[in-house]
Amino acid sequence: MKALVTGGGGFLGLYIVEQLLDAGHEVRVFCRGKYATLDRLNVHVVNGDLQDRQAVATACEGMDCVFHVAAVPGVWGTWQHYHGPNTIGTTNVIEAARQAGVQRLIYTSSPSVVFDGEEHIDADESLAYPSEWLCHYPHSKALAEQSVLAANDDDSFRTVSLRPHLIWGARDNHLIPRLLQKAKSGRLRRVGDGTNVVSVANVENAAAAHLQAEASLRETVSAAGNAYFVNEPEAVNLWSWIDQILELAKLPPVKKSISLATAHRVGRGLEKLWTWLPLPGEPPMTRFMALQLASSHSYSIEAAKRDFGYTPIVSMEEGMQRLATDINRMV
């Protein structure tokens, strides 16, 4: 199989590339930057921007399937900052893939596309898209996901959308480093009462889910045109899990806390401040962040198991051991 991975130099994308190569597939990567790891893997790289329709079309030529992983993440920024790459970029991928005769498209979405400010406990795919959004990232991703699912054609172009929640693991260059940096600087605060549970997705399992979904689309339409939550079978207590990660880095547990009401109020004020001035970077707290850090968000993977045989390949214990090795390397 010839597979294109957009964002193949990123955290999740690189694991997908590696698993595809291990399975004996031919891999092409579409990304904006240069990555030494991709050079070492001897992967064919096409550099370009998702908003450049011709560049995307060139990348899709001759491919059997596309894993569309690339996106601009974050909780702060203008609508254009997210809508261009995430929404318009995904439309470009869909159109280019169709024109190139690509048969399957596996899209990396996010549970945040159905985040409505309420707690989700073992929620399933019946959750609807919200009518209001607290930040532009989930809104742009939701529009993109809807386009991916609407493009599904069981006969010629099968699509699926996967929603891995809180991706973590070895080689993480975003979530874990930021967490450790905040802890070291004394700026890490528990938000809420510390009882909230969340689903998490080890990066190796999230990558495996993409390959499992693609393999299913080759044989059947059971998953075609659908979105699926992808995470570990059991949710974790968020703040206990964070303390475990801090312990791996030989850092003390989180001791200071702030109530959800206070964090939400502070977030609202900082959002206004960053909008009015504006200030560089992102606010240290936003309403979206406050709700994410204090509320429970766990998701059922029964549909993914049923429709495309989702099976985690790394246990929680194994994942934490590998993360420990990675953290020891960093520190």
pLDDT of 131 > 80? The answer is yes
The pLDDT value recorded for residue 173 is 87
The pLDDT value recorded for residue 278 is 85
pLDDT of 330 > 70? The answer is no
Stretch 184-205: mean pLDDT: 96
Q: What is the mean pLDDT of the chain?
A: 96
pTM of the model: 0.97
Work out the percent of the chain whose per-residue pLDDT is above 90. 98
Stretch 122-139: mean pLDDT: 97
CATH number of 2-240+288-330: 3.40.50.720
List Cβ<8 Å contacts ≥24 apart for 219-222: 221/154, 221/158, 222/307, 222/308
Active site members? 137
Spans of all domains in the chain: 2-240+288-330
Stretch 135-160: mean pLDDT: 98
How sure is the predictor about 110, in pLDDT bands with cuts at 50, 70 and 90?
Answer: very high
HSE (side-chain half, CA atoms, 13 Å) at 117: 10
The pLDDT value recorded for residue 331 is 62
